[in-house]
Amino acid sequence: GVETITRLRAFDPNVKAIMCSGYAEGDVLKQFADYGFAARLNKPYDVAHLEVTLARMLGVAQAATA
């Protein structure tokens, strides 16, 4: 989690990472951006939530789904 993103950011300050957790509490989860994460996903998540999160994080426009 935090140790990994800290090391990744030391290597590449522009790295984008998603915080994934099954826990609902904690400072890292509530303030994920303060710890260097670009987004947060709560477990369990499905492919649709992952797709939306990745698109937002990468600034990609999503195609409309029917």
Is it true that the peptide bond before 13 is cis, omega within 30 degrees of 0?
no
pTM over 0.75: no
Maximum CA pair distance of the chain? 42
Q: Are 41 and 19 in contact (CB under 8 A)?
A: yes
Count CA atoms within 13 Å of residue 2 on its CB side.
Answer: 9
Euclidean distance between CA atoms 10 and 27, whole angstroms: 21
Q: pLDDT per position in the chain (66 positions), as tens?
A: 889 999 999 999 999 999 888 876 666 777 888 888 888 898 899 999 999 999 998 887 655 444
48: amino acid identity, one letter: A
